[in-house]
Every structure is written in C-alpha cells, then in structure tokens.
Amino acid sequence: MNNIKHLIDPMDLSIMELEDILGLANDIMKNPKEYSHLLSGKILATLFYEPSTRTRFSFEAAMMKLGGNILGFSEPNSSSVSKGESLSDTIKIVSTYADIIAMRHPKEGSAKVATIYSSVPIINAGDGGHQHPTQTLTDLLTIKSLKENLEGHVIGICGDLKFGRTVHSLIKAISRYKNNKIILISPEELTIPQYIRDEILIKENIPFIEVERLEDVIDKLDILYMTRVQKERFFNEEDYIRLKDSYILDQSKMSKAKKDMIVLHPLPRVNEIAQEVDKDPRACYFKQAEYGMYVRMALILKLLEVR
Ligand code: NCD
C-alpha cells in the first residue's frame, strides 16, 4: 500500500480538505497569475472512456493554467483500448508517464480499481451512474460563491436521480453541512438509489422529502439543481423516451420561484431547461461551468501537494 491521495468519492476528502480546496480555488480566481507556473514540468493525463465536454476541457485548461502539460484520449478507440488492453495495463503505463490522472469510465467502481494499479493520484471524473466528485467540488464552489455559504439552504434536486452520478455525489457532500433541507424531485422510476437514501440521508438525519412535481415545491427552494435524464444508462429506449421530458423548467415555472433562488445544472442540458431561462439572472449554470475549472486547479495542486 502507498500513501498516494486519490479522489474517487466525495467522502475521500475531509471537511477540512474540502474547505481548503474551495479556499484555494477562490484565491486562484482572484490571483490567477500567482499560480500560472506552479506545475511547469508536470503532466496530467485525461483518460476519457466516455464522452465529455466540460469535465475534460476544464481539467486540461486547469492544468495548462498552472503551467503544466497534458496528454490522454477523449475516445478510447484511438488508444490501445481498441486492441483489448485492460484498464489495469493502461493505468500502469500511463502512471509512469504522467504525474496525475483524471479518468472517466462507464463502469461503476472503475476509478477505484485504477487506484490499485496507479503510481500517481487518480481523480474520478465520473464512473458510470455512481459518483462524480469533481462536479460536486464545482457545485460546492458555485453555491459558496453565489449563496455565501453551504449551510441553511433548501435544495431541490430534480430529474434523473437514479442514474445521475452528480446527484449522488452532491447529496453525499452536502449532507456534511448543517441545516440544509433536500427536496428530491423525480418520476417514481428515477428516484435516488436506496443506498443514498439509507446510508446518507437517513443515517445522517438530513431532512428530505421526495416529490414528483416541480411546480408543487419550486417556491420553497433556495437552490434548484436540474439534471438531464441519463439516456446512456437506460436499458431500453422506450423508457427513455417516456421519461425524457418529465421536467422542463421554463419562465412560467420560474415566475413561481424565489427572487434569489439560483438554478444550477451540471450540463449538458438536453431540454430540461428551456433556453428562455438562460437570460434570467437566477440561471447560474454557465457560471457554474466556469467555477469548475478553478476548483480543478485547486484540486490538482492539492493532490500533487504543491500548495
Ligand atoms: C455530468 C456527467 O458527466 O455526469 N456532466 C458533467 O460532467 N458536467 C452530467 C451529465 O452528463 O448529465
């Protein structure tokens, strides 16, 4: 066993470490120049076995803004994966070339498996329908920046709560902060997995309710976290088609919400937020994507123990 620090699950970070990363991200946003050469000579590998726009680009931009370099693939068929190379062999090799690895894989648990074979820190950039801890860091930095703190909010999480890995990670992380109330909004078939209900919400005594209609609760929310129905995780297309338009946030629904509610979304959006909402000052999802890069800069520095 070695002492390499990985980020596979949001709970891998203590609250202190989490606060440190958010604080560091804040400082980077204020003084980006001070950080622009810290990782010169270091390499980040991005191994993406599943599609991505924001996560991969923001990791790569983060590394470049710290003065480091990047290598990797965005399409496993362009690497030896297409010849049948195992994840363990790929990780063994890449970890001899790179100083840190961010990986996304369709199989739940794959990032954890990678830690067994890696000689450098592994960051889970999404493992199937399981966890997505760096999206959660992004979400926390966004909430902290726009709502001042991470406590005392009524948070509505809406959409595909079953397969949405960002939802699972966000619930885990937010459960560590005081006085939040969670309203879970989903169709019956897309409610949160039982382990999140039992091992996090019930065990940690987090006040939560589960409802089906966004209209019934939108006026109570301080934060509305919308999500996409995760097409790629469905076993049959018919179910996806039936459920994909369960929620469409539009201006008429927004008119019932608090004046200072913020709308977040990990993106990509399909049609769960109408474009007309984009110009509403409460729509913060594009700003959220920007925070993602800064928090990944902070995370890379922290895992490489540079700051
Ligand atoms: C999310 C993901 O990959 O889980 N996207 C992202 O990283 N911002 C959300 C999604 O794909 O719906």
Catalytic residue of the set 30, 83, 178, 279: 83
Q: Which atom of ligand 1 is nearest to the CA of 266?
A: 8
Asked if residue 1 has pLDDT above 60, the reply is no
> 154-169 pLDDT, tens per residue?
999 999 999 999 999 9
DSSP-assigned letter for residue 191 = P
Centroid of ligand 1 to alpha carbon of 266 (angstroms): 6
CATH code that applies to domain 10-132+292-303:
3.40.50.1370
**How many percent of the chain have pLDDT more than 70?**
99
DSSP string, 131-172: B-HHHHHHHHHHHHHHHS-SSS-EEEEES-TTT-HHHHHHHH
Domain with CATH 3.40.50.1370 in the chain: 10-132+292-303, 134-289
Q: Do residues 156 and 129 touch, judged by C-beta distance below 8 A?
A: no
Average pLDDT, the chain: 96
Which pLDDT score is estimated for 2?
A: 66
136 is catalytic: no
Which pLDDT score is estimated for 83?
A: 87
> 182-208 pLDDT, tens per residue?
999 999 999 999 999 999 999 999 999
**pTM across the whole model:** 0.97
Q: Do residues 307 and 37 touch, judged by C-beta distance below 8 A?
A: no
Place of tokens 């970070």: 13
The residue among 184, 162, 188 whose CA lies nearest residue 246 is: 188
Centroid of ligand 1 to alpha carbon of 34 (angstroms): 30
Asked if residue 88 has pLDDT above 90, the reply is yes
User: For atom 8 of ligand 1, which residue has the closest CA?
Assistant: 266
Which pLDDT score is estimated for 104?
A: 98
Residue 3: pLDDT band (50, 70, 90) is confident
For a mutational test of ligand 1's pocket, the pick from 57, 107, 267, 271, i.e. the residue with the most ligand atoms closer than 8 A to its C-beta, is 267
Place of tokens 């590394």: 63
Angle between helices 54-65 and 285-303 (to 10 degrees): 50
Q: Which atom of ligand 1 is nearest to the CA of 164?
A: 4
| Mean pLDDT value of segment 109-138 | 98
* Cα–Cα distance, 283 to 182 (Å, whole number): 20
| Class of CATH domain 134-289 | alpha beta
Asked if residue 298 has pLDDT above 70, the reply is yes
Which pLDDT score is estimated for 305?
A: 94
83 is catalytic: yes
Asked if residue 24 has pLDDT above 80, the reply is yes
